[in-house]
Amino acid sequence: MSSSAKPRILCIHASERAQGNSRALYDEAINGAESTGARIERIAVRDLDFEPCTSCGGCDSTGECVVRDDMQRAYALLRECDRFLIVSPVYFCSLPGRFKCFIDRCQALWVTKFVLKKKVAANPGGMERRAAFISVCGSPDGDRMFSPAEKIIKTFLNCIDAKLAHKLYVPGMDKAGAVLEKPRLLKEARETGRALAVL
């Protein structure tokens, strides 16, 4: 791997709101990653046009989803990128429904890894595949709220051959824009993005 290589980072914003606390943290984390020269790819789950997984079995023998929609671009990025930034609010101790459907549609990648015993990652640069998860919730009880969501994220990352290496959890942010009043949290998000990008 060249000493000048920079990771390609897939940044996933999972909130149903275009602007809000998670978006502010997402933007700051990307700023941190970009400050290192990392290459950035973006996905806003709310903007994708895709169907939920119906367990049709179409991917069982190939590891390729037979449904042709916006998930096809997502699959390519999940296979090709080196690092992953996932930023999501917590709803009812879990992830937003559309993002959970996004993860469920990765059954094809699960089949690739665990049934067909093939590599999920193209990984042309040979970089370590790791991820950062930044999450925010309205409840002050962060321990109870974030743990179930983290389990889902770790399971998803295992499916795509990545590990959760960085996390930032922000409880007690019920008011829209509340995080903007906390410069320390915005700095932590930038540092999280930077850490993710460092080789």
Instruction: Give CA angle at 77 (69, 155), nearest 5°.
Output: 95
**One pLDDT digit (tens) per residue for the chain, 199 residues:** 444 689 999 999 999 888 889 999 999 999 999 999 999 999 999 999 999 999 999 999 999 999 999 999 999 999 999 999 999 999 998 999 999 999 999 999 999 999 999 999 877 667 899 999 999 988 877 678 899 999 999 999 999 999 999 999 998 887 878 888 888 999 999 999 999 999 7
In a domain, 1, yes or no: no
Q: What's the rounded Cα separation, in Å, for the pair 148 and 92?
A: 10
Q: What's the rounded Cα separation, in Å, for the pair 125 and 135?
A: 29
In a domain, 2, yes or no: no
- Can you say how many angstroms the Cα of residue 6 is from the centroid of all Cα atoms in its chain? 19
CATH number of the domain residue 82 falls in: 3.40.50.360
Structural domains in the chain (count): 1
Q: Is 0.95 surpassed by the pTM of this model?
A: no
In a domain, 122, yes or no: yes
- Look up the domain containing 51 and give its range: 8-197
Give alpha helix (H) positions in 4-96: 21-34, 71-80
Report the SS3 class of residue 23. Answer: helix
In a domain, 155, yes or no: yes
